[in-house]
């Protein structure tokens, strides 16, 4: 019935992403994080002293939308901002932020493993390179 739609890569991509994000969101909510916030924390942990603009470019988040996101992370005591010059702010994790992304990161790793486990073995190793070829 829906086989026609499921044969469209674009449609399958949309449904798969919606399904996966719909499952990940409540897991991260258990850590009081949204998906975009977790992505920011993972990136900031990986690379120190990034600015808001740099984070936005890397994660495809508009500068304007970074403001409330970072404000919330800062209010929660997970990041702190330090002037680089009179124009830019370096963003880094606080101790609490490190602890938070450590525990949330473990939940994410488990989630990602379970996600890959759903894919039949013969297709599994092809998923990531195929997806990254589409957007990178």
Partner DNA sequence: TATTGTTATACTCTATAACTATA
Partner DNA sequence: TATAGTTATAGAGTATAACAATA
Radius of gyration of the chain (CA): 17
75 lies in the binding site for DNA (CB under 7 A): no
| Binding flags for a copy of itself, 43-82, as an x/- string (CB under 8 A) | x--xx----------xxx----------------------
Q: How many CA atoms lie within 13 A of 105 on its CB side?
A: 14
Q: How many CA atoms lie within 13 A of 127 on its CB side?
A: 16
- Name the residue with tokens 């989630």: 111
126 is written with which tokens?
Answer: 């092809």
Stretch that binds a copy of itself, among 38-46, 62-70, 74-82, 89-97 (CB under 8 A): 38-46
How many angstroms separate the CA atoms of 101 and 63, rounded? 22
Residues near DNA, by CB under 7 A = 18, 22, 25, 34-36, 51-54, 61-67, 70, 85-89
Residues near a copy of itself, by CB under 8 A = 1-2, 4-21, 24, 35, 39, 42-43, 46-47, 58-60, 108, 111-112, 115-116, 118-120, 122-124, 126-136
């Amino acid at each position: 019935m829906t086989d026609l739609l499921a044969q469209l890569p674009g449609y399958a991509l949309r449904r798969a992403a919606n399904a996966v994000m719909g499952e990940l969101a409540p897991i991260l909510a258990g850590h009081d994080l949204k998906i975009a916030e977790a992505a920011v924390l993972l990136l900031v942990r990986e690379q120190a002293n990034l600015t808001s603009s740099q984070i936005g470019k890397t994660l495809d988040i508009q500068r304007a939308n970074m403001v409330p996101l970072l404000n919330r992370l800062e209010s929660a005591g997970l990041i702190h901002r330090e002037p680089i010059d009179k124009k830019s702010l370096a963003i880094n994790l606080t101790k609490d932020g490190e602890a938070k992304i450590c525990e949330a990161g473990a939940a994410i790793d488990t989630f990602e493993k379970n996600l890959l486990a759903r894919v039949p073995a013969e297709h599994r190793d092809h998923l990531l390179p195929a997806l990254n070829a589409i957007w990178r």
